[in-house]
């Protein structure tokens, strides 16, 4: 039974908002409110952390600042997907808002059709000055949040760290090379695919020397990765073949394998001649015993365990500190084959973005107040705390200290954590939810996290200079019908590309195999798939031009 029927048949227990804009006097929304008010919200929290949101320092301060108390329904993160689905289907379990919804586009549009959530675009313009300011400065975010009918169904999470070709998300699967090994063998950092191959061969042929010099237990592995596994994949190496597109849109579960040319045409990366040549080259490396034979099957834990044992010459990750250590490794520059280019990842020019982070539900009796309270999450000093953690906690560790910027105004400064795990401290203090951290906030409202700063420095030094393509595919919002259409097309296309990539790197392939592969992708609807993306890109570009 659809949500609309469920809502209508709830016996009058729950008053339902049909989504019509309900204006109020702005004076009623001035914080702190004259009288204490209670709203209801639903939130997730990491396992082994505080389960009562109101015991967290961030929410304590927000209650003091707004005189709004939130009656929370808190769900442990690992149970969230199952429980939120059940709660969204029962109006008697709905709260005024879902703070950490993280809904997919499909879910947003489904719940909108069911009448479980309400559109918020008018509330943003009327009662959410912090979010509206971000939208006005970066109109692409409003465009990305707006469906084909002009509605905004959710409040976003925005985390800018760098921008455009310097954005931290522009390169996911960074390649790293063991500088300690290079120095010991008197080798230079390679710049071309041929030089790179020679370095791997040197690692292979000097395995016993490396083991003895560095006390390595276990075999030497010239290069390891996790094929078809997102940031741990080695696909970044083939960007220099052909026209230099590579395959940057290859998420292990939802890879789209598309890129935007300088003529604003959407093409499939994995059908380009350069992709073919790159896979042929990777097969050559595999035949020469330069690629970890477990690269096609190993899990994350195995990959990391071997890395921490010091056995890798080259590896791939978001951060090499996840695999080995920062001291002995450097990023591997873009390799030249036919050209020298690195195509940035799709969606990266607008940095971190989650369209479905928070929703206002149809049981909210005063959606204007709900939105006005949620807008406090977008305040420049509040968003960094929600995202990373806070200051002034009762325990021994804080993510931040409250300091001053160059103008003598309050600024959150990242605090030294000593031996404490940044992830654990963040999970213990942060609350997530809707927020916006803009690039211009750094050194004004907040310092940049150290683990982000060195990665931004790597990108700017090693990768940005070789990003020669002008466009990436934006984070577009398809209709419900087209979302389903895309999902059906993608399932077969992505599966075929992944399977052939792994098979061909291991076993090689012929021109006849390649032609059969292209025919199969076309039979799966590749032309229709690309046409779908092209239409939305054209509409997105028109909307951005209109809003500027």
Q: At the fourth CATH level, which superfamily is domain 172-343+478-547?
A: Periplasmic binding protein-like II (3.40.190.10)
Distance separating the N- and C-terminal Cα atoms of the chain? 43
Residue 198 C-beta-side C-alpha neighbours within 13 Å: 12
Q: At the fourth CATH level, which superfamily is domain 3-163+356-379?
A: Periplasmic binding protein-like II (3.40.190.10)
Q: pLDDT tens track of the chain, all 548 residues? A: 344 444 544 444 456 788 899 999 999 999 999 999 999 999 999 999 999 999 999 999 999 999 999 999 999 999 999 999 999 999 899 999 999 999 999 999 999 999 999 999 999 999 999 999 999 999 999 999 999 999 999 999 999 999 899 999 999 999 999 999 999 999 999 999 999 999 999 999 999 999 999 999 999 999 999 999 989 999 999 999 999 999 988 877 788 999 999 999 999 999 999 999 999 999 999 999 999 999 999 999 999 999 999 999 999 999 999 899 999 999 999 999 999 999 999 999 888 999 999 999 999 999 999 999 999 999 999 999 999 999 998 777 889 999 999 999 999 999 987 777 778 888 999 999 999 999 999 999 999 988 889 999 999 999 999 999 999 999 999 999 999 999 999 999 999 999 999 999 999 999 999 999 999 999 999 999 999 999 999 999 998 887 66
Strands 400-404 and 410-414: antiparallel
pTM assigned to the model: 0.88
What are the boundaries of each domain within the chain?
3-163+356-379, 172-343+478-547
Q: Which residues 6+ apart lie within 8 Å of 326 measured at CB?
A: 320, 454
Query: At what angle are helices 480-507 and 273-287 packed, to 10 degrees?
Result: 40
At residue 279, the 3 state secondary structure works out as helix
- Computed from CA positions of residues 507, 511, 513, 518, in that sequence, does the dihedral angle turn out positive or negative? positive
Sheet holding 174-178, edge to edge: 221-223, 312-317, 174-178, 329-331
Within 168-233, strands assigned E span 174-178, 221-223
Element (H, E) at 455: helix 450-458
Residue 401 bridge partners (DSSP): 413
Closest of 7, 105, 85 to residue 42, by C-alpha: 85
Give yes or no for a contact between 270 and 258, defined as CB atoms under 8 angstroms apart.
Answer: no
Within 180-253, strands assigned E span 221-223
235-256: b (≥16 Cβ within 10 Å) or e: bbbbbbbbbbbbbbbbbeeebb
Fold match flag (3-163+356-379 vs 172-343+478-547)? yes
Q: Which residues 6+ apart lie within 8 Å of 394 measured at CB?
A: none
């Amino acid at each position: 039974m659809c949500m609309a029927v469920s809502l209508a048949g709830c016996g009058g227990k729950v008053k339902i908002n049909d989504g019509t804009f309900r204006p109020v006097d702005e004076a009623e929304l001035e914080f702190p409110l004259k009288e204490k008010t209670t709203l209801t919200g639903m939130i997730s929290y990491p396992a082994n952390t505080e389960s009562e949101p109101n015991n967290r320092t961030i929410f304590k301060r927000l209650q003091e600042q707004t005189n709004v108390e939130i009656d929370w329904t808190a769900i442990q993160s690992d149970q969230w997907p199952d429980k939120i689905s059940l709660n969204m289907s029962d109006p008697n379990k709905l709260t005024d808002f879902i703070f950490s919804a993280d809904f997919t586009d499909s879910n947003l549009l489904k719940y909108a059709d069911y009448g479980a959530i309400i559109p918020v675009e008018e509330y943003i313009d009327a009662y959410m000055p912090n979010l509206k300011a971000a939208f006005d400065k970066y109109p692409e975010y409003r465009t990305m949040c707006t469906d084909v009918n002009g509605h905004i169904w959710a409040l976003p999470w925005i985390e800018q760290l760098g921008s455009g070709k310097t954005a931290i998300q522009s390169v996911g699967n960074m390649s790293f090379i063991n500088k300690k090994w290079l120095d010991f063998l008197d080798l230079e950092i390679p710049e071309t695919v041929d030089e790179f191959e020679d370095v791997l061969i040197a690692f292979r042929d000097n395995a016993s020397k490396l083991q003895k010099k560095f006390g390595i237990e276990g075999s030497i592995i010239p290069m390891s990765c996790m094929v078809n596994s997102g940031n741990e994949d080695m696909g970044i190496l083939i960007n220099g073949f052909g026209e230099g597109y590579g395959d940057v849109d290859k998420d292990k579960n939802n890879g789209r394998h598309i890129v935007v040319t300088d003529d604003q045409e959407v093409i499939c990366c994995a059908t380009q001649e350069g992709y073919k040549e790159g896979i042929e080259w990777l097969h050559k490396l595999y035949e020469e015993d330069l690629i970890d034979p477990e690269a096609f099957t190993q899990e994350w834990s195995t990959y990391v365990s071997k890395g921490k044992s010091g056995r890798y010459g080259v590896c791939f990750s978001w951060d090499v500190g996840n695999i080995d250590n920062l001291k002995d490794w450097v990023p591997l520059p873009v390799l030249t084959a036919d050209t020298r280019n690195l195509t940035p990842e799709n969606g990266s020019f607008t940095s971190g973005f989650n369209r479905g982070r928070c929703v206002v539900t149809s049981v909210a009796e005063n959606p204007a107040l709900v939105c006005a309270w949620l807008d406090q999450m977008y305040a420049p000093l509040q968003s960094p705390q929600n995202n990373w953690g806070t200051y002034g906690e009762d325990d021994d560790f804080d993510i931040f200290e409250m300091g001053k910027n160059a103008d003598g105004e309050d600024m959150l400064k990242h605090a030294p954590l000593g031996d404490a795990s940044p992830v654990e401290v963040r999970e213990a203090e942060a609350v997530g939810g809707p927020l916006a951290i803009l690039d211009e906030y750094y050194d004004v409202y907040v310092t940049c996290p150290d683990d982000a700063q060195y990665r931004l420095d790597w990108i700017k030094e090693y990768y940005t200079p070789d990003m020669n393509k002008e466009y990436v595919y934006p984070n577009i919002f398809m209709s419900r019908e087209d979302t389903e259409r895309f999902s059906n097309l993608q399932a077969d296309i992505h599966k075929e590309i992944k399977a052939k990539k792994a098979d061909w790197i291991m076993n090689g392939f012929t021109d006849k195999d390649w032609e059969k592969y292209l025919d199969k992708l076309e039979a799966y609807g590749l032309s229709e798939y690309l046409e779908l993306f092209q239409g939305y890109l054209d509409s997105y570009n028109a909307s951005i031009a209109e809003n500027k």
